[in-house]
Every structure is written in structure tokens, then in C-alpha cells.
Amino acid sequence: MTELTALQLDAVEAGGDTLLWGNAGTGKTTALQHRLLRLLQAGVSAYNILVLVSEYGHEQPFLELIQESNLGPYAQLNITTYNSLAREMVVLFWPLVARAAGFKNPHQPPTFLEYDMAQLLMWRILGPMQTEGAFADLRLRPQRIVSQLIDILNRAAFNGLTLDEAVARQARVWQHEPDQLKLLADAAEAARRFRQFCLEHSLLDFSLTIQVFDTHLVQATHFRHYFSERYQHVLVDNLEEHTFAAQNFVADLMGQIESVVIVYDDGGGYRRFLSADPMGARQLATRCAQQFYFPDSESHTANPTMPHLAQYVSNYLLIQRGGVTEQAAQTILGTVKARYRREMLMALPPVLHRLMQELNVPPAQIAIIAPYLDGALQYTLREELKRAGIPYRLLRRRSSPREEPRVRAWLTWLALAHPIWTASPDWAMRPSAFDVAEALTLSIAGLDPIRASLAVKYLYDTSAGVLLPISQLTADLVERIGPDMVALIEHLRLWLAKYGNGALPLDSFLYQLFNDLLCQPDFQPEPDVPGAAICDWLVRTASRLRESAAAIGLRNAAEQGEAFIAGIHQGLVTANPPDLGDPPDPDGVVVATTYGYLLSGISSQIQVWLECNIMGWWQTPYQPLSNAFVMVQSRPDEQLWTAQEEIEVRNELLNSIVHGLTSRCTTGILLTYSDLDRRGQRQAGQLWRAVQSIQDGNGWLEEMQQPPAA
């Protein structure tokens, strides 16, 4: 078990309203975990303790510490996120709040819409509006529009705003741009239709769940009595990553129960895109009677020279002078550079091998970090790491499953098994010949793309969207494709005909397609682990759709199937992505986006800052319909959103990213860049400008490249 410092021991024993603050890696969360352990060891019932974490998965270290301590039963301990707590409480107190919240049928139990199901419902609302001319001047894919419409509702709820207040706040910052105001009016109408549909059909998405909890339940007498009787101790990790609604909830508890202990990361707030309010957290933190500051000298995860690099970048981004920067160059191990991005990615694995061998760094202690991981980058990086024999694991928060070939393949078989869907004049997702050939290649081991394309040419009717019997093939074609392969194609066709056309519910069809057919030895002699992960995700998603179908207006199995296939093809984003490609190796190199890495809670010996010269490190997502920074409560609502403020926000975010990364790095940083980015353009982003004057120093890589002394 970890040996605590004197500062941590003092923090563990503190009672009342207490703040633990400082930079990441200085031992604050460890102290909070031992505070929990101390309470349990002192005889406080687990039933009376609530731990609020900012991210799913962050509860695991708390549980592991308790398991190591052999305390005994603690099943009633509640370690959760604010969103999950709100959902749990709304279910428990539903009869008390449903009518006041405006639900048309308050006696009907609610149906919860996960993020992917909320997207499907919003698509059904968006389609007719676009037909009427809404969003005509907005050049965004439908999925991006859907995502931002849901963001409007979520950000309003997380910031304690009504929908009208959120729309008005956005409109005020764009008051001199008529075209933008028209788009906002369309967005407001779509959001209102979505909200009204939810109220009429007892649907609870994230936004409505938070609004019901924050507006109608938290202040209710019965709830306050229940909550104060049950929870006597509340521990909050990373308050700066919580939303205003969560912070407001914590503020209400302070002074009302025995103890509220808060951890605050100075320089954090990486979830600002998800409505985190670090400024509001800072204001709340000042209310704590006891405060423990954890200085950088207490850091357990950072190289002592890392603050020099963070300060160096801060001086550039925030146009300031100060702090210690003399040793900033010592943090840079070297650079990997090339003319083209692919060449840079090919040159990286040999350097990683040298790091592992010469500096004795295990793969799991290396993190490759990029502002975003597009499909081409992921594919090339995975292939180069596999070719070099370097294990890896990809950290992903959300993904669009249509990017995975196996997802497309399974959906192709789903569509071909239900020709009644594809016969509909409104159906626009009929599989192409390429789709079917790709699905055959992935479904039948040993069938190469050339022979699959040849089979599809004669066995797939593109106009009708159906597979034809193998009697269409001549003996010569059978020989060219291979008799065994032809037999398996026929077996697949007959299975689709037998179990398609509504013979099985959507989720059951997908389950049996894989387990009864595609994973069998004739089709896949070796275990298809990636295929099993894809199947599991598809089945779970289809099950949620079937359970929510009636509530969101899908009247029959055909409409469910069409919505399922169309939603994924149009770019549905999931917060619970399947493991795409090879299974992740827990002992492999971490590959992550900047925010994915920072929010994961991990640290590494070596960080590789990938493509550190591109603008992506500094840019923020284009969100014309839902500006996360405008809706936060700590920002004056009358203040116009200017180009200057946007630049300042970008600089602040990049500065925060650099501080977060450096505080989670124990040895050094490897910089990589290419002269030309993925579009063949030269870039010199803000991060590159900040570090270029120190990156050419005598780091580890440059030293090792020098010729040996005579």
C-alpha cells in the first residue's frame, strides 16, 4: 500500500468542508482515496458515503485500494458520476417529480435514452425540418448537426439554464450576424420539438434527466431529507471537471452534512467542451474552511524539469514573462521528423524500440498523443506498430462505428436478409457491389477481394439488393472462385433467407448471424475476437433500440431495422465504442487523443507528441449551433463572443493541455512532425511555435545519433 506523506496524512484526517488543491500528480486523489479508507476503517457505514468522480472508470482506483485493505463488505458504497447519480435519484423519486417536470403521462415510468438513441430520435426530427428548408445555409454533415442540437440541450441543463435561456444567451453573442441568428432559430425549434416529444412519451435523455434532478428534485423537501439522512460524507474528485449543475449540488451539501472533501486540479478543466466549469469550481473551492495545498515538489508523476517546459510554453501562449524555464530543453528527448506524415509514422517505431531498450522503458509507459486520430492516421500507426512488433492499446472516448469494416459487413448482411426494407422507395442505403464484396472478404476466411468481387459480379443483383443462387455461376467461374468458397457463399445466402424478413428480432438476428454462422470453423477457422467485439456492440445497440423503439416512434421491426442501419451509416457516434480491429493490449503503448489521455487519469514515462506542428493542437471544434464557452454560468451572459476571445480561449486550452501533459510525464517528451500534413499543406501551429526554439537542443535522440568518439 502507498506510504503517505505528512501532507497527505493531514488531509486524510481533516473533517468538515475541506479542499485539496494543486497540480495533477501531486497526490491529492491518493489522499482522497485514503480519506475514504479512513472513514470505513473508523466504522462509518459504506451506505453513508458518496464519492463523486468526473469520469466513468475513475472509480476503479478507489475500489482497488479498498480491496487491498481487506476491509470486508462494502457493497453499499456509492462511487459514481453526477450524471449517474441524477439518473438514479430521478428513477427513485419519479412519482414526486414527473408531473411538475411537465411529463404528459406522469404515471408512466420513464424510458432512458442513451446518447446513440437520442441521436436517432433527433435525426427523425431533423429530417422533416431540412425538407422544409431548415439549416439550408449550414455546411455540416447531418450527424454533426444532430450532435450540436443535442449539445444545446445538454449544455443548457448542465449550466442550470432553461432551453430558452440557453438559446437567448447564444443569440446575444451573435446579434450582429443575421445568417447565424437564423441558424440558431432553426436549432432552437429542433431542440424544442425534441424536448416536447420526450415530455409526451416519458423519454429521459441526459439533458432532461439533469434538468429534472437539478430543477425539480434537489430542492424538494422529501429528497433533501432522504439525502441528508443517508449520506453523511461526500468526497468529490476533480471538481474542475464537473459541470455547474454538479458543482451547485455539492455547494448545497456544504455545511449540511458531516464532511465534504473536494479535490481541485489547478490548471485542469479539460472537459470544458462537455460543459465543465473550472472557474465556477474555483469559486466554490474558496468556500472550504480547511485548505491543503499540494505543491509541485510533492509530485509523484512528473519529472522535476517538466514545470520548466510548461512555463516556457505559458510564457509564449499567454504573452507573459516569469517562472523558471532554464531546464525546459532537458525535457525534450529529441524529434522524429520527415517530409510526409506517413514517412514520419514509419520512422517512429525504430525510435520507440530504442527508447524501450536503451532507457529501459516498458511499452505501457509510452504514450503516443495527438490532437485527433483520423482513420488514416490510426490505420497507418497501427500497421507500423504491428510491423515493428510493438504492442499498443487505443484509448477512445467516442467513435463512429461505420469506420470499422466489420460493422459495415454485418450491416450489409442485415440489409440483404431483409429485402422488404431495401424495396422501399424511401430506402437510400441499399448495399453496393463493393459493400457486398467487402462483407464476403471479412466473413469468409481465405476469400480474397479479387475472388469476392468476381462472385459478387454474378451473384448480386444490385438493382434488387439480393443475393442470387450459385446456379448462376458457370463451372469455370466456380473453379476460379473456388468450390469451397462458392459453397460457403450459398450457405450464407440460404441462412439469410431463412432467418431474415422479420423471422428474428433485430438483436437476435445479429447475435445468431455471428454465433451460428460467421464464427463457425467453416467461415473462420481461427477465433474471430475482433468480430466478437463488433457483434457484442451491435447486439447491445440493437437491444437498446428495440427497447426504445415504441417510445421514439418506430412502429414496427422494419422501421427499427431501417433506423438502425441508416443511423450507423450516417455517422452515429457512440460513447461506448466497440474494440475496433485487434483487441487492445493492456501492456502496450498507449495511443490517445490529448483529451482522451488527460481524462484517463494515467501518467507515462515517455510521451510522444504526434504531429506537434499542426494547428489541431490549438484549434477548437467548429460549433456554430452550440458554443460550449458561451453557455457556462461563470461567463457574463451579455458579453459578445469576439475573435479575440476565441483566440484567448484557444491559447488557454492549449496552455492547460501542456500543463496537464507535462504533469503526467516522468522522463521526457519525444516530438514528431512532418513538413507536410495529411492534406499536403505546411503548418506551423501554436504549439510548434512555442517549442521550436528548444526542440533542436541536445536531447537523447540527437546525442545517440552522434558518431562515436575516436
The string of DSSP codes covering 462-530 is: TTTTEEPPGGGS-HHHHHHH-HHHHHHHHHHHHHHHHHTTTTS-HHHHHHHIIIIIITSTTT-SS--HH
Percent of the chain with pLDDT over 90: 57
Same CATH topology for 6-89+220-298 and 306-400+583-705: the answer is: yes
pLDDT > 70 in the chain, percent: 94
Residue 703: pLDDT band by 50, 70, 90 thresholds? very low
Q: Give Cβ neighbours of residue 621 (< 8 Å, ≥ 6 apart).
A: 273
Mean pLDDT across 35-56: 92
Side-chain-side CA neighbours of residue 603 (13 Å): 19
To the question of pTM greater than 0.85 for the whole model, the response is yes
Beta strands in 510-658 (DSSP E): 589-593, 604-609
Q: Is the pLDDT of residue 300 over 90?
A: no
List pLDDT tens digits, range 432-479: 999 999 999 999 999 999 999 999 999 999 888 889 999 999 999 999
pLDDT, residue 707, reads: 35
CA atoms within 13 A on the CB side of 647: 8
Taking CA atoms, 287 is separated from 17, 18, 258, 260, 284, in Å, by 8, 9, 15, 11, 6
Q: Over 60: is that where the pLDDT of 46 sits?
A: yes
Pick the CATH number of 6-89+220-298 from 3.40.50.300, 1.10.630.10, 3.30.365.10, 3.40.50.80: 3.40.50.300
> Side chain identity at 479, as an amino acid letter?
E
Question: Is the confidence at residue 353, as pLDDT, over 50?
Answer: yes
What is the β-pairing status of strands 460-461 and 466-467? Answer: antiparallel
The stretch 549-553 carries a mean pLDDT of 87
Please tell me the predicted confidence (pLDDT) of residue 568. 87
Lowest mean pLDDT among 393-397, 487-491, 694-698: 694-698
As a whole number of angstroms, the distance between CA 701 and CA 337 comes to 12
In what helix (H) or strand (E) does residue 337 lie, and over which residues does it extend?
Answer: strand 332-338
Per-residue pLDDT at 606: 96
Fold of 306-400+583-705: Rossmann fold (3.40.50)
Query: Per-residue confidence at 698, pLDDT binned at 50, 70, 90?
Result: very low
Q: What is the pLDDT of residues 303-350, one digit of tens each?
A: 888 989 999 999 999 887 777 888 888 899 999 999 999 999 999 999
Question: What is the Cα–Cα distance from 79 to 37, expressed in whole angstroms?
Answer: 13
Percent helix, strand, coil in the chain, to 5, is: 55, 10, 35
From the list 514, 526, 520, 523, the residue with the least C-alpha distance to 578 is 514
pLDDT of 176 over the 70 cut? no
Selection from 125, 145, 148 nearest residue 137 by Cα: 145
What phi, psi does 83 have (nearest 5°)? -60, -45
pLDDT of residue 481: 95
The mean pLDDT value for 10-31 works out to: 92
Give the whole-angstrom CA distance, residue 122 versus residue 99. 24
| Separation of alpha carbons 27 and 39, rounded Å | 18
Q: Which amino acid is located at 436 in the chain?
A: V
- Between CA 638 and CA 496 the distance in angstroms is 59
Average pLDDT over residues 690-700: 67
Q: Domain map of the chain by residue range? A: 6-89+220-298, 107-199, 306-400+583-705, 402-569
